[in-house]
Structure 1
Amino acid sequence: MARLDVMESFQDIAFPGHLHTQETLRDAPNFRFQDTDTLIATYPKSGTTWMQEILTLTLNQGDDTVSRTVPNWARAPWLEQYYFPHVVKMMREPRIITTHLPYHLLAPALRDSKVKVIYVARNPKDIAVSFYHFHKMANFLPEPGSFDQFLDCFLEGTVSYGSWFEHVKGWTTQTSKSIFYITYEEMWLDLRGSLERISAFLQCPLGAEQISNAQKHCSFNRMKENPMVNYSTVSSDIMDHSKGQFMRKGKIGDWRNMFTEEQNRRFEEVFSSKMVGSHLKFIWEAPQDPERPKTTREAKEIPCLGAA
């Protein structure tokens, strides 16, 4: 299934036709989750791959055998993508399932389910930069144009997968105890503590050595070298690795290397307008990064979207 130049529109949101069909997008909201399932919900470039690796290692008690031998799309498939019905039939419990869908589209499937949901959020400036670079290498996504043009589309919510603002607000305003909220920045600043919290939420306790193994195997450098994670096995017709790496930097605050002052001003205006009344807080720069200058916008606290 190539369809590299096809985009599917579903509920006024654009999805790449290489991965989605109208049928799979219609079926996703009616999926019947099992009580032992764990669903990873994210907006693209928010730490999806990282959480897939974290959950794989957690559910395997820190053993990286599955992480090294099974592609992440097969062990944590995307609910709304065309190959999902085939892959899910072969999965054993407990299953890890992934989605980029906004909450309102999945609400019918979640309403009467006991599935555990982990929602990962990331500061949107870093997302915009990462998503832009991904568009340049992913041949199933539209040409992004200049970063300035792409940023306008991101702020307007007309990029693939829709508005980041609506996505993050839709998921993080839910108060169900079956939804666990965490940020990319929390994981980056305190991976071990994040692993402990996630394993507790999943009721999958890990010993100190198992936590250490999981922490080692889901580090950015380890994942970047793992062909089951870094998409290096994907055909160059689909992902052109000569134009960039799927796992690029993974840092907090990389947006400062891309944004102009005018772009940052424009972003701040839209962010303030769209997020009015929101309780969410984000770390925009890594506090301990010695290479960057101090700024008045530096966040002093690790954001916590919610407790399990």
Structure 2
Amino acid sequence: MPVPYVVYNGIKFPPAYNSERSLGFAHKEFLVRDDDVFNVTYPKSGTVWMTEILSLIRSHGHPGWSRTVLNSDRVPWFSTRLGLESALSYPSPRLLTCHLPRDIFPESFSSSKAKVIYTLRDPRDVVVSYYHFCRMCNSYEDPASFEQFLRDFLDGELPHGSWFEHVQGWMEMKDKENFFFITYEELKK
């Protein structure tokens, strides 16, 4: 069944979590604090894994916080309808997460000292994981076939846009002092 995706800046987003208003606010109005830490990924690239790592770092290795507080409350999805409210009320230093491409990341980031941790995963593994995720998650359109899903992935037609453009946009930051890049495969070692 077709899903009426939210479209912002030419990119589709799942409507269960996103609205044009939440995405527009995240892009144009969200005030980044100097001590914010952003967990940024393309979907199915290690987002939850990095959320757990950051949560353990923040709690000095004590797992109690991770075990008792939902990861969406510990590291809010600030560009979503529900996560935005959490992010705005979250005390500093904030841990925040998103799948936003660089060109619609908060504009206030460029004048801040906030940090981005970007996790990259082999696109072959991303597309397979994303396919299975979309098949089971009703916030996404059920793919007709893997072959069509792969074509849509390669053409940048999936929700959250092109993997290639997402990675390219964020890799332009790789030499910045406040940008840390790691791969899913490195985390597995």
Correspondence for 2:77: 78
TM-score calculated relative to the size of structure 1:
0.59
The match for 1:33 is 32
Please say if residues 6 and 18 of structure 1, whose CA atoms lie closer than 8 Å, have aligned partners that are also in contact: no
Equivalent residue for 1:14, pick from 12, 15, 37: 12
The AA in structure 1 aligned to 2:186 is E
Shift of 1:139: 0.2
Q: Which structure is higher in strand share?
A: 2
The alpha carbon displacement at 1:61 in A equals 0.8
Deviation of 1:107 (Å): 5.8
Deviation at 1:184, TM superposition (A): 0.4
Match of 1:113 in 2: 112
C-alpha offsets along residues 17-70 of structure 1, whole Å, 9 cap, x if unaligned? 110001001011131111221001110000000000000001111100110011
The percentage of counterpart residues that share the same residue type is 41
Residue type of the alignment partner of 2:42: Y
Give matches, 1:130-149, under 5 Å: 130-149=129-148
Distance 2:94 2:167 in 1: 24
TM-score with structure 2 setting the length: 0.94
Aligned AA for 1:153?
Answer: D
The separation in 2 between residues aligned to 1:86 and 1:172, in whole angstroms, is 29
- 2-structure distance, mates of 1:115, 1:101: 16
Aligned-residue RMSD, C-alpha: 1.3
Find the aligned partners of 1:80 and 1:92 in 2 and give their Cα distance: 17
Per the alignment, residue 176 of structure 1 pairs with 176
Aligned to 2:92: 93
Corresponding residue pairs, total: 186
Distance 2:84 2:132 in 1: 30
CA distance in 1, matches of 2:32, 2:69: 22
The more displaced of 178-187 and 99-108 is: 99-108
Q: 2:158 and 2:32 mapped to 1: Cα distance?
A: 29
Q: What amino acid sits opposite 1:73 in the alignment?
A: S
User: How far does residue 109 in structure 1 lie from its aligned partner after superposition?
Assistant: 2.4
Q: Tell whether the 8 Å contact from 2:118 to 2:182 is kept in structure 1 after alignment.
A: yes
Is the Cα contact below 8 Å between 2:52 and 2:66 reproduced in 1? Answer: yes
